[in-house]
Amino acid sequence: MGKIESVTSPEHGHAHEQGPADPALRALLVERLAEVLDAAGLLCEPEELRPYECDGLSAYQCVPLVVALPANEEQVCKCLAVCHELGVPVVARGAGTGLSGGALPHAQGVTLGLSRLSRILEVDPLARTARVQPGVRNLAISEAVAPLGLYYAPDPSSQIACSIGGNIAENSGGVHCLKYGLTVHNVIRLRVATIRGEILELGSDGLDTPGYDLLALMIGSEGLLGVVTEITVRLLPKPECAQVVLAAFASVAEAGAAVAKVIGAGIIPAGLEMMDKLATAAVEQFVHAGYPLDAEAILLCESDGTTEEVAAEIAHVSEVMRASGATQIRTSRDDAERLRFWSGRKAAFPAVGRILPDYYCMDGTIPKRKLADVLMGIAALSRQFGLQCANVFHAGDGNLHPLIMFDANEADQAERAAQFGSRILELCIEAGGTITGEHGVGAEKIGEMCLQFGRGELETFLGVKRTFDAKGLLNPGKAVPTLHRCAEFGAMRVRRGQERFPDLPRF
């Protein structure tokens, strides 16, 4: 994806606030980190640092001061203690697949890569738990426990690459989270290193712990409260079988209504996804999933469970889809076909990337009943900004992923894409939803946080942050804006003449 210049614009104010690094401090930092890390664990040369300059949102780039790659928990703690003592920012990094710039480096900070902590420490088949290090890939857990008939349920589309530590930080979801929940619903215990380099145990091997729920607070905290060093996840028995219904609709509104009817009928499908015409067209060119290309929208609805249960549910779903005006209904005949139906959905992001060189993946959630309105709003914005936008949608959860297509080599397209994206998030807020369903705020949506929350909420978030990290060294500039940043953001919006909430307080 092309650069959106945001790294230096006041809108996101990042690199410009960070200024040049102090060479003496850098030398001291390198010396101190070298004492606690092994030879492979410290990267300082420009060509070694380059691969870490961005995460999955490559529009935002910044080279870190150094990269530390600890080999174990003890080294993580020692690195943190050094950074705390020297007052150096720390950005934790898992696999770098994040889509909101959460792992974007800090120009004067250490990027703390957790990829070497990649061991599955223990699997308990009877209690159905796995204790793993943060660098373990999401899919690797399910693969390791598959012989036991178990799996780890949250399945982000990036699951072959993303780390479980990153999943904790983002509270990641996946196409099956309507039925099986997000990361927060599937994790029972964490070991977390504080910025001072001390270990906290949150949660336990039981299902809850007394006192405030710090486990829930840590999940989704985007690396701002601590560095996760060990995770105990719950495993579920693999369903006996699964089947998918693919239904085509002549309008997005009808497809949206069908979603409401399926759920209204008392069905909680294992997955319920929508793709619009632009998305299916992009995908078909590329993966040949067999999607009907004349439909304005398609729904993929998966049922899993026992053979009897799936047969009954699939029949029920098909009936509801038909009654909701589906123009075509197909049911996967076998697992190969089921996977083929899903392959298109899972490859939607890269497929869209083949139409135009760049795409910008947005992530907002809305109440499902607002779907048709919001999609119409997005279509209007698409005309206004002169950029195409394909929509994929975790329909069951109301989580939208509009994919804005652009060519960064064309004049101002990247900037237009960024503005278009921001306007989509405003639509989500107006619809009673949220600016991020599962990709996190990161560096990207720090401005929109000022639209979704008022001063009191933001001050509370900042207070929570101070409780864990008084010096503000963990992932500074991400997830929670300062009130000053919000004032800047407001001023910038006024200049652009898109002041849409004139009655909102400005800080």
Partner 1 sequence: MQTLIENFSERIREAAARRTPLRLRGGGTKDFYGCSLEGELLETGPYRGVVDYEPSELVITARCGTPLAEVERTLDQGGQMLAFEPPHFGERATLGGCIAAGFSGPRRAYAGSARDYILGARLLDGRGQDLRFGGQVMNNVAGFDLSRLVTGSCGSLGLLLDLSLKVLPKPEKELTLSFECTDAQAIERMNQWAGRPLPLSASCYLQGRLHLRLSGAHSAVDAGVVKLGGEQVPDAGDFWRDLREQRLPGFGGTLWRLSVKSSAPPLGLPGSSVIEWGGALRWIATDAPAEQIHAAARNASGTAARFRGGARTEPPFLLTAAILELQRGLKATLDPDSILNPGRLHPQI
Residues in region 316-355 near ligand FAD by CB under 6 A: 349
State which of positions 112-141 bind ligand FAD (CB under 6 A).
Answer: 114, 134
Q: Which partner from the list ligand FAD, partner 1, none does 223 bind, CB cut-off 5 to 8 Å by kind?
A: ligand FAD
Q: Is 266 in the site for partner 1 (CB under 8 A)?
A: yes
- As measured in angstroms, the least distance from the Cβ of 456 to partner 1 is 4
**Non-local CB neighbours of 264 within 8 Å, separated by 6+ positions:** none
Tokens 């929350």, located at residue: 453
Q: Which partner from the list partner 1, ligand FAD, none does 268 bind, CB cut-off 5 to 8 Å by kind?
A: partner 1
**Non-local CB neighbours of 180 within 8 Å, separated by 6+ positions:** 153, 154, 186, 236, 270
For CA atoms 377, 97, 493, 465, the dihedral sign is: positive
State which of positions 366-425 bind partner 1 (CB under 8 A).
Answer: 366-369, 394, 397-399
Residue 483 · residue 459 · CB < 8 Å: yes
Q: Which partner from the list ligand FAD, partner 1, none does 95 bind, CB cut-off 5 to 8 Å by kind?
A: ligand FAD
Stretch that binds ligand FAD, among 95-103, 268-276, 382-390, 465-473 (CB under 6 A): 95-103
Which residues, listed in sequence order, are joined to residue 275 by a DSSP beta bridge?
Answer: 298, 392
State which of positions 82-141 bind partner 1 (CB under 8 A).
Answer: 124-128
Q: Is 439 in the site for ligand FAD (CB under 6 A)?
A: yes
Q: Is 99 in the site for ligand FAD (CB under 6 A)?
A: yes
User: What is the x/- site pattern for partner 1, positions 178-217, by CB under 8 A?
Assistant: x--xx-xx--------x---x-xxx-xxxxxxxxxxx-xx
Residue 427 · residue 398 · CB < 8 Å: no
Stretch that binds ligand FAD, among 19-27, 45-53, 219-227, 376-384 (CB under 6 A): 219-227
Considering only residues 445, 478, 485, 493, which one is a binding residue for partner 1 as defined by CB under 8 A?
A: 445
Cα–Cα distance, 208 to 489 (Å, whole number) = 40
Q: Which partner from the list ligand FAD, partner 1, none does 94 bind, CB cut-off 5 to 8 Å by kind?
A: ligand FAD
Nearest alpha-carbon partner for 60 in 114, 8, 115: 8
Q: Which amino acid is at 156?
A: P
Pairing of strands 271-276, 42-43: unpaired
Closest CB to partner 1 among residues 133, 183: 183
Cα–Cα distance, 337 to 18 (Å, whole number) = 51
Considering only residues 42, 132, 202, 227, which one is a binding residue for ligand FAD as defined by CB under 6 A?
A: 227
Cα–Cα distance, 381 to 403 (Å, whole number) = 13
Residue 149 · residue 238 · CB < 8 Å: yes
Q: Is 94 in the site for ligand FAD (CB under 6 A)?
A: yes
Task: Count CA atoms within 13 Å of residue 78 on its CB side.
Answer: 16
Q: Which partner from the list ligand FAD, partner 1, none does 55 bind, CB cut-off 5 to 8 Å by kind?
A: ligand FAD
Q: Is 93 in the site for ligand FAD (CB under 6 A)?
A: yes
Q: Is 172 in the site for ligand FAD (CB under 6 A)?
A: yes
Sheet of 66-68: strand order equals: 42-43, 66-68, 110-113, 90-93
Residue 295 · residue 274 · CB < 8 Å: no
Q: Which partner from the list ligand FAD, partner 1, none does 467 bind, CB cut-off 5 to 8 Å by kind?
A: partner 1
Phi, psi of 192 (to 5 degrees): -130, 135
Q: Is 506 in the site for partner 1 (CB under 8 A)?
A: no
Residue 278 · residue 378 · CB < 8 Å: no
State which of positions 291-330 bind partner 1 (CB under 8 A).
Answer: 305-306, 308-309, 311-313
Q: Which partner from the list partner 1, ligand FAD, none does 432 bind, CB cut-off 5 to 8 Å by kind?
A: partner 1
User: What is the x/- site pattern for partner 1, positions 423-442, by CB under 8 A?
Assistant: ---------xxxxxxxxxx-
Stretch that binds ligand FAD, among 92-100, 122-130, 254-262, 494-502 (CB under 6 A): 92-100
State which of positions 36-65 bind ligand FAD (CB under 6 A).
Answer: 55-56
Tokens of 297: 């929208």
Long-range contact set of residues 429-433: C-beta below 8 Å, sequence gap at least 24: 431/366, 431/367, 431/370, 431/373, 431/374, 432/366, 432/367, 432/370, 433/364, 433/365, 433/366, 433/367, 433/370, 433/398
Q: Which partner from the list ligand FAD, partner 1, none does 239 bind, CB cut-off 5 to 8 Å by kind?
A: partner 1
| CA 131 from centre of chain | 23
Q: Is 157 in the site for ligand FAD (CB under 6 A)?
A: yes
Neighbouring C-beta atoms of residue 500, cutoff 10 Å: 11
Number of amino acids touching partner 1 (CB under 8 A): 94
Closest CB to partner 1 among residues 94, 220: 220
Q: What are the residues binding ligand FAD (CB under 6 A)?
A: 55-56, 91-99, 102-103, 114, 134, 156-158, 162-163, 165-167, 169-170, 172-174, 222-223, 227-228, 349, 438-439, 475
